[in-house]
Amino acid sequence: MHILILLLYILLLFTVVMLHVAYATYFERKIIGHMQVRMGPMEVGWHGLLQPIADGIKCFFKEDIIPENVDPLGFRLAPVVSLTAMVASLAVLPFAPGWVLADIDIGLLFVFAMSGLAGYGVILAGWASNSKFSFLGGLRSMAQVISYEIALGLSLVGVMLLSGSLNLSTIVEAQGGTFGGMYIFPQFIAFGVFFVAMLAETNRVPFDLPEAEAELVSGYSTEYSGMRYAIFFMAEYVGMLVMSSLGTICFFGGWSGPFAVPYFPALWFVLKVYAFMFVFIWIRATMPRYRYDQLMELGWKWLIPLALANIVLTAVCKALF
Amino acid sequence: MQIQYKKKRNLLQNLFLSELVQGMWLTLRRLFTKPITLQYPHEQPNVRRGFRGQHALVRDPETHTTRCVGCMKCVMVCPSRCIRIRIQKRPEHGNRRFISAYHIDALRCVYCGYCAEVCPVNAIILTEVFAYSAFDRKSLSYDMPQLLDNWDRYLAEQGEDLAQYVNPTWRPRGLPEGPMPAGKRLPVPDDWKGKGQVVGRLWRQSVQGQNR
């Protein structure tokens, strides 16, 4: 019985997140459109509101094309690995007090592990596609994910030190539910590092080198089409949602807000996550892409030392006061 | 010429990424402006006189056929060579040329408007009609009756009289009137000829700016 309820919860979470993912694409297209003084999708439904559904149906019913010279197993496996790893990290995210599938004590580590694993999907796609564009995209993605994973992990060590836990619910509770208690204030350096690393980790502009259209066609997903491509796309957006949630939980006090909302305690959490998503999209509409060596330089020469300095600073402050 | 570069950023500006903030501010402001998109099939664009669209041969109200005199200037000037004309001479009419076929391949046309500009009798015209796609090549290769029909449809749509009608492709704006053939010296508003001509929106704006 317990397992059945859990399965129901999982199904509910998955459905809700997938709907959010679908509408995140709509949100992105609309916002980027208006930032470029266009309109974005307008045709399907009122102001294009049904566009994501139409896209989903279209992708689902497209012909399943597997190029001749690919490695069939790796090619089929890669999108699944990407999406599964990303979706798995949803399990530990607390959306509201008690609204969490697995309230485990290594929540933060689990999210890191899963976002690291998602990189395997990308490099597997690059390798299995047997195409130079995919291969270069996969290599770049791997190098990028490895270097920024370190900065991402180190930037959150300060948060761990302050809250004394890796459990995400405990981290939110440690921030006390007040405005001044949010870890963005004592951990502003960590937040800066986290934010940049988060962009790089999710392969978003200005760090979207793995799928740099101008030079790599579509990077690791060049050979993919139809539903498999859509799965990569979903994985990217779930990744964005997960990283936004992580930022919200670790720096902006998670579900706590100015007043409690009856019946839907996750409202503040969702609003904060969507503010994060908006910034993601806003940056995409504004920034040019980094050059590859600049990307590595930023990661290794600036973000990692900054994050390390922040750890030392936090630890010293915590020991003294 | 002195090139005005941006001022060099100081350390504080570099540290707080002032350039990035400026860029982000620009895109955020654009988010709240009105989009310039024209939702085409739902909204029709305001096509101005002088737009070079579908071809037509002007039907002369007196003879009910084309005004073309078969001078072949349009054929010679056409850069894509999409015009073909067959002329005849009839012994009873002396040296006068008769057009037995006038053919335009709209798929080869580059819409430069040279043919209309060079025509001494204003016989050919590029109308403002732009939505005339077809499913086969044949129906976009116009012969003379089709071209005359195009003109009839266009004139009925515009609701204008041929006596007053003048098209900028016939009499390009800003050309001096003197060297033009008699047929091209049509009565036009003052801003079409000489100093009063209007070349374009940017030109007009710059003139307004200078007066201020």
Instruction: Report pLDDT digits (tens) over A195-228.
Output: 999 888 888 878 877 776 667 777 788 888 888 8
For chain A, the residue count is 321
Residue A26, both tokens? 């709509």
Task: Determine the Cα–Cα distance for residues A217 and A213; give it in Å rounded to an integer.
Answer: 5
On chain B, the residues whose CB falls within 8 A of the CB of A275 are none
Residues A285, A37 contacting (CB under 8 angstroms) = no
Report CB contact under 8 Å: B33, A39.
no
Return the residue of A nearest to B41 by Cα: A43
**Mean pLDDT on A307-314:** 91
Q: Using CB atoms, which residue from A31, A39, A283 is nearest to B31?
A: A31
Task: Determine the Cα–Cα distance for residues B179 and A205; give it in Å rounded to an integer.
Answer: 59
Q: Using CB atoms, which residue from B20, B26, B35 is nearest to A34?
A: B35
Residue B204's pLDDT is: 61
Task: Determine the Cα–Cα distance for residues A49 and A258; give it in Å rounded to an integer.
Answer: 31
Q: Using CB atoms, which residue from A38, A42, A282 is nearest to B27?
A: A282
Task: Determine the Cα–Cα distance for residues A78 and A128; give it in Å rounded to an integer.
Answer: 8
* CA end-to-end span of chain B: 25
- CA Rg value for chain A: 20
- For residue B119, give the nearest of B192, B165, B171, B54 by alpha carbon: B171
What pLDDT digit, counting tens, does each position of B158-209 carry?
887 777 788 888 877 767 777 788 888 777 776 666 555 555 666 566 656 6
Residue A122's pLDDT is: 84
pTM of the model: 0.79
User: Token pair 């408007």 is at which residue?
Assistant: B113
Report CB contact under 8 Å: B35, A286.
no
Helix (H) / strand (E) containing B2: none
Kindly indicate whether the ipTM for this predicted assembly is greater than 0.90, answering yes or no: no
Report CB contact under 8 Å: B26, A282.
no
Q: Using CB atoms, which residue from A37, A282, A287 is nearest to B36?
A: A37
On chain A, the residues whose CB falls within 8 A of the CB of B33 are 34, 37
Supply the DSSP string of B27-69, one letter for each residue: HHHHHTSPP----TTTS---PPTT---SEEEPBPTTTSSB---
Helix (H) / strand (E) containing B141: strand B141-142
pLDDT band at B212 (very low <50, low <70, confident <90, very high): very low
Residue A46's pLDDT is: 87
Residue B193's pLDDT is: 63
- CA Rg value for chain B: 25
**Mean pLDDT on A88-104:** 84
Residues A158, A311 contacting (CB under 8 angstroms) = yes
What pLDDT digit, counting tens, does each position of A260-301 carry?
777 888 888 889 999 989 998 999 888 888 888 888 888 899
Residue A174's pLDDT is: 84
User: What are the structural domain ranges in chain A?
Assistant: 64-320
Q: Which amino acid is at A9?
A: Y
Domains in chain B: ranges and CATH: 55-170 (3.30.70.3270)
Task: Determine the Cα–Cα distance for residues A31 and A11; give it in Å rounded to an integer.
Answer: 30
The single-letter DSSP state of residue A47 is G
On chain B, the residues whose CB falls within 8 A of the CB of A31 are 31
A248-252: long-range contacts (C-beta < 8 A, 24 or more apart)?
A: A248/A272, A248/A273, A248/A276, A249/A93, A249/A94, A249/A168, A249/A171, A249/A172, A250/A108, A250/A156, A250/A159, A250/A171, A250/A183, A250/A194, A251/A159, A251/A182, A251/A183, A251/A184, A251/A187, A251/A190, A251/A191, A251/A194, A252/A182, A252/A184
Residues A205, A283 contacting (CB under 8 angstroms) = yes
Report CB contact under 8 Å: A287, B23.
yes
On chain B, the residues whose CB falls within 8 A of the CB of A34 are 30-33, 35
Q: How far is B30 from chain A (nearest CA, A)?
A: 5
Residue B66's pLDDT is: 87
Report CB contact under 8 Å: A287, B26.
no
Task: Determine the Cα–Cα distance for residues A162 and A154; give it in Å rounded to an integer.
Answer: 14
User: Token pair 């077809």 is at which residue?
Assistant: B134
- For B52-127, strand residue ranges (E) read 55-57, 83-89, 97-105, 124-126
Cα→Cα distances A36→A119, A283, A321, B22, B36, Å: 31, 13, 49, 16, 10
Question: What is the percent of chain A where pLDDT is above 90?
Answer: 7
What pLDDT digit, counting tens, does each position of B64-109 carry?
888 888 888 999 999 999 999 998 888 888 888 888 889 999 999 9
A235 Cβ contact partners less than 8 Å away, ≥ 6 residues apart? A79, A82, A83, A85, A86, A118, A121
Q: How far is A13 from chain B (nearest CA, A)?
A: 32
Report CB contact under 8 Å: B27, A33.
no
Report CB contact under 8 Å: A34, B37.
no
Residue B211 pLDDT exceeds 70: no
Q: CB contact, 8 Å: A37 with chain B?
A: yes
Q: Which amino acid is at B109?
A: C
Report CB contact under 8 Å: A38, B36.
yes
- Residue A17 exposure: Cα atoms within 13 Å on the Cβ side: 25
The single-letter DSSP state of residue B172 is -
* Count of CB atoms situated within 10 Å of the CB of B80: 13
Helix (H) / strand (E) containing B74: helix B73-77
Look at B177 and A69; give whichever has higher pLDDT: A69
Task: Determine the Cα–Cα distance for residues A83 and A87; give it in Å rounded to an integer.
Answer: 6
- Give backbone dihedrals phi and psi of B202, rounded to 5 degrees, phi first: -65, -40
Compute the CA torsion angle A143, A148, A151, A155 (nearest 10 deg). -160
Write out residues 38-97 of B within 8 Å (CB-CB) of A.
39
Residue B110's pLDDT is: 93
Q: CB contact, 8 Å: B208 with chain A?
A: no
Residue A225's pLDDT is: 83
Q: Using CB atoms, which residue from B27, B33, B39 is nearest to A42?
A: B39
Task: Determine the Cα–Cα distance for residues A158 and A147; give it in Å rounded to an integer.
Answer: 19
**Mean pLDDT on A181-188:** 84
3-state SS class at A318: helix
Report CB contact under 8 Å: B28, A282.
yes
Q: Using CB atoms, which residue from A31, A42, A286 is nearest to B24?
A: A286
Is B40 exposed, middle or buried (CB count within 10 Å of its CB: 0-12, 13-18, 19+)?
exposed
Residue A152 pLDDT exceeds 70: yes
On chain A, the residues whose CB falls within 8 A of the CB of B34 are 37
Q: CB contact, 8 Å: B31 with chain A?
A: yes
Task: Give the helix ranges, DSSP H, for chain A.
Answer: 2-35, 51-60, 72-88, 107-128, 132-163, 168-174, 188-201, 213-216, 226-251, 267-286, 292-297, 304-320
**Mean pLDDT on A118-122:** 83
**Mean pLDDT on A293-320:** 89
On chain B, the residues whose CB falls within 8 A of the CB of A285 are 27
Task: Determine the Cα–Cα distance for residues A185 and A262; give it in Å rounded to an integer.
Answer: 28
Task: Determine the Cα–Cα distance for residues B177 and B184; give it in Å rounded to an integer.
Answer: 8
Residue A100, both tokens? 């969490």
On chain B, the residues whose CB falls within 8 A of the CB of A287 are 20, 23
